Structures are given as structure tokens and as C-alpha cells.
Amino acid sequence: MTDIMGARLDDSVTLIRGAADTVVRLEVLPADAGPDGKHKVVSLVRKPISLQDQSAKSWCKPLPTARSSAKSV
């Protein structure tokens, strides 16, 4: 196991990435376990992630035309 406590997120992700259908093991400390609690090993199978279907969509909402409140005298 590689200790990534305090590591930058992008460095941690680089270590977790790997070939599809391979197993990565993460040793975690559950939040309710306390600092000296029992660690838990979680095994995950790497799979490709397609973000195309979940990509952000945007649109522009037209704002109403501002009317001047100034009156000429």
C-alpha cells in the first residue's frame, strides 16, 4: 500500500488509475472509527468511465430589457 495521506488529489488519482478490469485496493479509515480505529480494505475493479453522456450542458437565458427610471423635465 502507498500512503497518500496529505497528497494532492491529482497525484492520488494518478496512483489509482490503471488498466481496465484490474483491481485496486484502498485502505480507508472510516470516519466513525476515530484516529486509532480499525482500517478497512476496499477492493474496486477499474472500469472505463464515459463522461460524454454526463457532460455539462449550458444555455443562455435572455434578460428582460432594462427600462430607464430617469424622467426628463
The reported pLDDT for the residue numbered 53 is 60
pLDDT, residue 50, reads: 76
4 within a domain of the structure (yes/no): no
Quick check: is 39 in a domain? Answer: yes
Residue 55 counted as domain residue: no
In a domain, 60, yes or no: no
Please report, in angstroms and rounded to a whole number, the separation of the first and last CA atoms in the chain.
Answer: 79
Is residue 59 included in any domain, yes or no?
Answer: no
Q: Read off the amino acid at residue 43.
A: S
Residues 56 and 52: their CA atoms lie apart, in Å, by 9
Strand ranges in the chain using DSSP code E only, listed in sequence order: 23-28, 40-45
Within-domain flag for 56? no
pTM higher than the cut 0.75: no
**What pLDDT does 23 receive?**
95
In the chain, the amino acid numbered 57 is K
Question: What's the pLDDT at 70?
Answer: 54
Q: Please state the domain count of the chain.
A: 1
Q: pLDDT in tens for each of the 73 residues of the chain?
A: 888 888 999 999 999 999 999 999 999 988 888 888 899 999 999 998 877 665 667 778 888 876 655 555 5
**2 within some domain:** no
Boundaries of domain holding 41:
9-45
